[in-house]
Amino acid sequence: MANKAVRILGIDTSYASPGMAVIDVKAGKAKLIAASHVKTNGKYAKLGDEARNRMIYGWTILFCREHYPFDAAAREKFNSPSVDITRKVFGAWREMDSAMAALGYEEHPETATPGQWMKAISGRGKLTKEEVEAAVKTYLGDVEFATSGKGGTYDESDAAGIALWWAIKNGLLPKEEAE
């Protein structure tokens, strides 16, 4: 795989604003190919769960269709003490998996806890959203994410961080050391 770019889909699954990022890694260098998110909260929240899940499904189909094929996919593990939030996030997870399967991607994405992927990209297991984005940029350069800053949710940079975790875990990129 050293001569061929490895394409990785990173998924930051949430119900209100899931994000995805695609990175290519070749010869120890990572490049952001695309990043996206979809908002299902705000004015869309009153549409109900089924409509919001369909929005996630449609967005996933469009984004993944544009950037297929993937050599790997990775997503953040989810855990919440709230049964209702867990149900909603796993509903979004199901829609994303279903959309990817419709496009022919049958493997389930590998998962990492926030602490696992943050530690891999920064050397520290707990980061603010701003610190995550800064760590992501140490690998990708000064890229722009639509969800960053000024009240942004940082879904896209989180998704890129998850994709970078997979690349680091599989020896395609060096692991960052804590400062």
Mean pLDDT of 12-37: 95
User: What is the spatial distance between Cα 9 and Cα 34, in angstroms, rounded to a whole number?
Assistant: 10
**Domain containing residue 43:** 6-167
pLDDT surpassing 70 at residue 135 = yes
- The pLDDT of residue 175: 79
pLDDT surpassing 80 at residue 29 = yes
Judge whether 173 lies within some domain.
no
Domain containing residue 73: CATH number: 3.30.420.10
Helix/strand/coil (H, E, C) string of 104-152? CCCCCCEEECHHHHHHHHHCCCCCCHHHHHHHHHHHHCCCCCCCCCCCC
Q: What pTM value is reported for the model?
A: 0.93
Judge whether 67 lies within some domain.
yes
**How many domains, the chain?**
1
Give the pLDDT band of residue 147 (cuts 50, 70, 90): confident
Tens digits of residue pLDDT in 73-115: 999 998 889 999 999 999 999 999 999 999 999 888 999 999 9
Residues counted in the chain: 179
In the three-class reduction of DSSP (H, G, I as helix; E, B as strand; rest coil), residue 6 is classed as strand
| Residue 153 or 25, more confident | 25
DSSP 8-state code for residue 76:
E
Judge whether 156 lies within some domain.
yes
